[in-house]
Amino acid sequence: MGQLDGKRAIVTGGASGFGKVISQALAREGASVAVWDVRKEGAEGTAKTVEAAGGKATGVAVDVSDSASVQMAMAQSVEALGGVDIMVNCAGVMYRTPIIEMPVEEWTQVISINLTGMFLCCQAVSRQMIEQGTGGKIVNFASGRGVTGSVNSAHYAASKGGVLAFTTTLGMEVAPHGINANSICPGATDTPMMRGGLTEEQVQSRMSSDVPYNKRIGKPEDIIGPILFLVSESSKDMYGQTLFIKTP
């Protein structure tokens, strides 16, 4: 406990799933947290759970696909926290549509949030960290589907493949400033986004097939250990790397 005492963190997509669990975990380790989400009530709700547990947090409404919105959210977060040392980018969307039936609007939305949004957030936080001059940690959520592809979710796979390539490059560019930028691929995990309208039987079948060695669907809490590693001094020599969790 306390390995992040005094650190200031931003977590995108913090209203639910990975983002909510990570916001709470960082706060338990002593960080003050700005919870970002497009849903204002969701962001504030997670912040309230952090504060109820004795941590410090603020909820920030933001559309990560919009540059002006990201800039405003960054300014609001820096004012509230006094700066930023950690950013974990969890915000994302996923749909299940075959390529031949996919509306261009759906493709554009997924790429705009999952990839362009990642770029905008990383650009904004990198500028802030460089201005502060004290380094920092950036963790971007990718997916094994960015490597293997994903039937009926080509836009999701494409966006996550882009995140992998983008983060490798980001890691090299910001390393001279003492910033560690890496990505993480969590594998099959039971989150609201992954369920996406599936029946319980489909959830069990599709998710467990991604983890052939124990057939256990991951829980968002499973990601806490790897995330704490990536945002702590334990990963000080890692940049532009990808950590795969339970992905065949």
Count of positions (residues) in the chain: 248
Does any domain span residue 1? no
In whole angstroms, give the CA distance from residue 124 to residue 105: 26
Which CATH number is 121's domain given?
A: 3.40.50.720
Domain range for 170: 8-244
| pTM, two decimal places | 0.89
For the chain, how many structural domains are there in total? 1
How many CB atoms lie under 10 A from the CB of residue 178? Answer: 14
What are the 10-residue block averages of pLDDT along the chain, 248 residues in total? 92 95 97 98 98 96 98 98 98 95 98 98 98 98 89 94 98 98 83 57 58 61 93 96 78
Strand order in the sheet with 86-89: 57-61, 32-37, 8-12, 86-89, 136-141, 179-185, 242-244
Report, as residue numbers or ranges, the catalytic residues.
156
Does any domain span residue 2? no
CA-based nearest residue to 1, from 77, 53, 52, 43: 53
Q: Give pLDDT, residue 197.
A: 58
In whole angstroms, give the CA distance from residue 78 to residue 70: 12
